Structure 1
Amino acid sequence: MNLFVPNIAYIDPKSLEYEVGRAAKENLIKLNVPIVQSRKVSIEGKTPTENYAKAKKTIYLTVSREKKLRPCSPSADYQFALSSSCPGHCEYCYLQTTQGEKPFMRVFVNIDEILKVIQEHIDINLPNITTFECGSITDPVALEHLTGNLKRCIEFFGESEKGRLRVITKFDNVDSFLDLNHNNHTKFRFSINTKYIIDKFEHNTSSFNERIEAARKIANAGYPIGFIIAPIMIYDNWKVDYKELLDRLKYQLGDYKREITFELIQHRFTATAKELILTRFPKTKLDLDEEARQLKWGPYGKFKYVYPKEKSNEIKGYIIGIIKENFNNALIEYFT
C-alpha cells in the first residue's frame, strides 16, 4: 500500500535536538506536509467523529520520557514504544478506550535514550534473556519511513546477547529490514485476518494479499516469524474464509522450515469501547450484541464481552485444526 502521509505535523522544538527529529522533519518537508512547531497539538473538529478522523492524519514529533517499562504478558517481558497510535482505522481496536478522543500519533525521536532504557532492563535481568514488544500501542512499521527507528532497533537487538525484540504489524512496508544483520533476535508477527474482516473493519491498513506478501519477504530474509489471527469473528461463511486465509499462508510459506508461531484472539469488546466505536463508526457492521456474549474479567480491571464458551471452543478447535493440517512446524502460543 502507499506509505502514510499525514495532513499536518506538529514538532516539539526539543525533538529537533535529536538527529532522528531533524531527519524526520526533512522527510516531512519532502512529502509537502505542513509543519507547526509547538509543544502541543491542536485538533478542533465539530464532532467526535471529525476529531477522530483528523487525529488519525496528525503526527507529533516529540520525546519519550519513559524510564520504567511496563510488563507485556503474554507477548513479552516488557513493552516499549517508538510511537503511539497508528494510521490504521480498525473499528474494533482495543486502543479505542486508551488514547482519548483525539488519538493523534506521537512519534518519539530520542531513539538512543529509548535503547539505553532497554539495555538497563536487559542488564537487571542477566543472565536471563529479556524479550521486548514494540507494537502494543502502535504499529511501528506504519511510521518507519519517517524515522527509521525500527531499523535501528533491529540492529541494536541483532548485536544484543541477551535482548530479543518482537514486532507486530498490519503494514507491508518491510523492504528496509530485509538486508539487516538481525541475527535471529527480532521476530516479526503479522496481524492477519480474512479478506472480509480486513476490508470491512481494518481501514487504512495493508490488504490481505499485501500482508501475506510482506510475511513471505520477511521469512525469506531469515527472520523468525509468527502470526496473530485477531480478532477472530463468527459471521456467515467464517469457516470458509479462515480456511482460505490459512491455505494461502501455507502456499506462500510452504518452504519455510523453521517454527511459525500463532496467537489466536477471539473478538471481544468492553461497554466503554462499544460506546466509542458507535460514536466514531455509527454505521459499523461489527457484532456488538451484548446479549449474544458472555462476560469475562480482563487483566486491566474491566469486564469484556466474549463469545459464549460453546462458540469460543468451536472457534478454537476449528482454527487450530486448520493450522495443524497446514503447518507441521506450527506452535500455538495461546488462544484467548
Structure 2
Amino acid sequence: MKLFIPDIAYIDPKILKYKESKKTIEYLEKLKVPIVNSKKVVIDSGSPEENYATAKKTVLFTTNGQKKLVSCKPSADYQFSLSSSCPANCEYCYLQTTQGEKPFMKIFLNIEEILENIQTYIETNMPSITSFECASITDPIALEHLSGNLKECIEFFGRSEKGRLRLVTKFDDVDSFLTLKHNKHTKFRFTLNTPYVIDNFEHNTSSFKERIGAVKKIAAAGYPIGFIIAPIMIYDNWRVEYKELFETLKIALADYNDEVSFELIQHRFTKAAKELIVQRFKNTKLDLDEEKRLLKWGPYGKFKYVYKKPESEDMKKYISELINNNFELAIIEYFT
C-alpha cells in the first residue's frame, strides 16, 4: 500500500527543541508537504463531511505531556500514545464519536520523554512485568514513516527486562521493524477481516492480501503475533468467507511455531456513532438496524447495539471452532 502523505502539516514550535523534529521536517519538505508553523490547526472546509475528509489528510506534529497513564484492560496494563487518530476511514470505527468533527492526526515527537515516563511505571511495578498498548487511539504503523517513533519504542522494550509492548495495525508497512532487536518483547497484532468487510468498510487501509503479506514478514522476524478479528459481521456468505480467512492465515503461518492469540469482537454501534456514520458515509452498507440488535450497557458509560444473543452465541461458537481447527497453539483471549 502507498504510504500516507498528508495534504498539510502543522508544526508546533515547541517540538523544535527535540532532535526528532529536524529529521521529520526535512522529510516533509522532501515530500513537498505544505508546512504551517503553528500549534493551532485550522480546518474550515464548509460542511461537517468536508471537514472530516480534510482532517483525515491533516497532521499536527506536537508533544505528548501525559504523565498519568490509564488502564488498557484486557489488552495491557497501561496505554500510551505515540500519535492520535489515523489516516484510515473505517466506517464502523469506535473513534467516530470521540475525536470530534475534525479528527486530524497528531504525531508526538518527544519520544524520549514518553519512554522515560514509561520507565517509571516499569520500575514502580518491579519485579512484575508491565505491559503497554500503544495503538488504542491510533494506528502507529500508518504514521511511522513520518516520525520513526515506533522503531525507537520497539528497541526500548527490547532492552527492557520487565517492560512489554503491544500494538495493532491494519497496515502493511512493516519492513523497518524486521531487523530490530525486539527480543520478543513487542507483540504485533493485526486486525483481520474478510475481504467483504475490508473492501466495503475499511477505506484507506491495506488490503487483506497486503496484511497477510505483512503477517508473514513479522512472523519470520520472530515477533510474538496475535490477531484481532473485528468487527465480526453477519452477512450473506459470512460463514464461508470467515472459513477462508482462517484457512489463508493458517497457510501464512505454516512455519510459525509459537502461540498465536485471537481477540474476537462482534460488530457494535452506539446511537451517536450511527448518526455520524450515516452523515459521513451516505451510501454505507453497514447494518445499523436497531430492531435487529440487542441494547447492551458498555464499559465506558454508553449503550451499544450488539447482535442478539442467539446470533452472538452462534458467531462465537463458529469463529472459535475455526480458530481451534486451524491453529494448535491458539489462545482465544476474549469474545465481546
TM-score category by the smaller chain? over 0.9
Residue 255 (structure 1) shift:
1.5
How many angstroms apart in 2 are the aligned matches of 1:318 and 1:34?
50
* 2:113 aligned counterpart, secondary structure: helix
Partner of 1:178: 178
Partner of 1:318: 318
Partner of 2:29: 29
How many angstroms apart in 2 are the aligned matches of 1:305 and 1:319?
20
Partner of 2:18: 18
Partner of 1:47: 47
Partner of 1:286: 286
Q: What whole-Å deviation, never above 9, does each CA across 1:119-159 have from its counterpart, x for those lacking one?
A: 11111111110000000000000000111000000000000
Q: What whole-Å deviation, never above 9, does each CA across 1:171-218 have from its counterpart, x for those lacking one?
A: 000000000000010000000100000000000000000001101100
Q: How does 1:98-137 map to 2 (within 5 A)?
A: 98-137=98-137
Provide structure 1 residue ranges, at least 5 long, that are not aligned to the other structure. none
* 1:22 aligned counterpart, secondary structure: helix
Residue 83 (structure 1) shift:
0.3
* 1:164 aligned counterpart, secondary structure: strand
Partner of 2:228: 228
How many angstroms apart in 2 are the aligned matches of 1:193 and 1:285?
16
Residue 15 (structure 1) shift:
1.0
* Residue 333 (structure 2) pairs with residue 327 (structure 1): no
* 2:65 aligned counterpart, secondary structure: coil
Partner of 2:196: 196
TM-score (norm. length: structure 1) = 0.99
Total equivalences in the alignment: 336
RMSD: 0.6
The runs of at least 4 consecutive aligned structure 1 residues that moved more than 2 Å come to none
How many angstroms apart in 2 are the aligned matches of 1:177 and 1:258?
19
Residue 24 (structure 1) shift:
1.1
TM-score (norm. length: structure 2) = 0.99
Partner of 1:274: 274
* 1:142 aligned counterpart, secondary structure: helix
Q: How does 1:206-245 map to 2 (within 5 A)?
A: 206-245=206-245
Provide structure 2 residue ranges, at least 5 long, that are not aligned to the other structure. none
Q: Which amino acid aligns with 2:4?
A: F
What percentage of residue pairs aligned between the two structures are identical? 68
User: Residue 62 of structure 2 contacts residue 108 of structure 2 at CA under 8 Å; is this kept in 1?
Assistant: yes
